[in-house]
Structure 1
Amino acid sequence: MRRIDIIGIGFGIFAAGGLAYLILQAAGLNSLEAGIWSQVFLVGGLVGWLLTYLFRALTKNLTYNQQVKDYEDAVFQKRLEEMTSEELAQLQAEIEQEKGNG
C-alpha cells in the first residue's frame, strides 16, 4: 500500500466519523451524545480492524508472507527446470530414500 493510499484512508475515516456525528445529531441526539457515539463507532471499528490484522499475522496470511512464498516457489520451479534428467532422477531417489527412512 502506498503512502497516498494511507492518507486517503485516514481522510476517509475522519470524514466517516464526521458523517456519523451529523447523522446521529439528525437522529435526535444532542451534540455531546452524538460525539460520544461517533467515537464509540470509530474505536469499535479500529479494534475490529486490529483483531483481523492480528489474526492474519498469527496465521501468516499477510501480503508479505504470500509474496515470499510465491518467490520461493518460483525459485524452486526454476531450479527444477534447469536440472538435467540425471539430477532429477538422483533427487527423486533421495526423496524416496527419505520416505523409506521416515
Structure 2
Amino acid sequence: MRRIDAIAISFGVFLAGGIAYLVLRGAGLDNFSAGIWSQVLLVGGLLGWISTYLFRAFTHNMTYHQQRREYEDRVLQKRLDEMTPEELANLQADLQAEK
C-alpha cells in the first residue's frame, strides 16, 4: 500500500465518523449520545477489519503467501521443463516406489 492510499483511507474513515455523527444528530440524538454512537460504529468497523486481517493471516491467504506459493510453483515447473525424459522417468519411478 502506498502512503497516499493510507492517507486516503484515514481521511475516509475520518469522514465516515463525521457523517455518522451528523446522521445520528439528524435522527434526534443529542451531541453526547451521537458522539458515543458514532465512536461505537467506528470501533466496531475497526474490530471487523482486524478480524478479517487475522483470518487472512492465520489461513495464509495474504498477498505475501500467495506470491510465494506462485513463485515456488513456477520454479518447480521450470525444473520439470528442464529435465530430460530419462530424469522424468526416474522421478516418476521414485514417486511410484514411495507409494
TM-score normalised by structure 2 residue count: 0.95
Q: Which amino acid aligns with 2:52?
A: T
Q: Which residue of 1 aligns with 2:82?
A: 82
Give structure 1 regions of 4+ aligned residues with deviation exceeding 6 angstroms: none
Q: Which amino acid aligns with 1:3?
A: R
Q: Which residue of 2 aligns with 1:5?
A: 5
Q: Which residue of 1 aligns with 2:60?
A: 60
Q: Give 1:1-102 correspondences, 5 Å limit.
A: 1-99=1-99
Distance in 2 (CA, whole Å) between partners of 1:53 and 1:10 is 17
In the comparison of the two structures, how many residue pairs are matched?
A: 99
1:25, distance to aligned residue in structure 2 (A): 0.6
Q: Which amino acid aligns with 2:27?
A: A
- Indicate the percent of aligned positions where both proteins have the same amino acid: 67
CA RMSD of the aligned region, Å? 0.8
Q: Which runs of 5+ in 2 are unaligned?
A: none
Q: Which runs of 5+ in 1 are unaligned?
A: none
1:18-74 deviation line (CA, Å, top 9, x unaligned) = 110111111111111110000000000011111111111111111111110011001
Distance in 1 (CA, whole Å) between partners of 2:6 and 2:82 is 42
Distance in 2 (CA, whole Å) between partners of 1:82 and 1:94 is 18
1:69-102 deviation line (CA, Å, top 9, x unaligned) = 0110011111111111111111111111111xxx
TM-score normalised by structure 1 residue count: 0.93
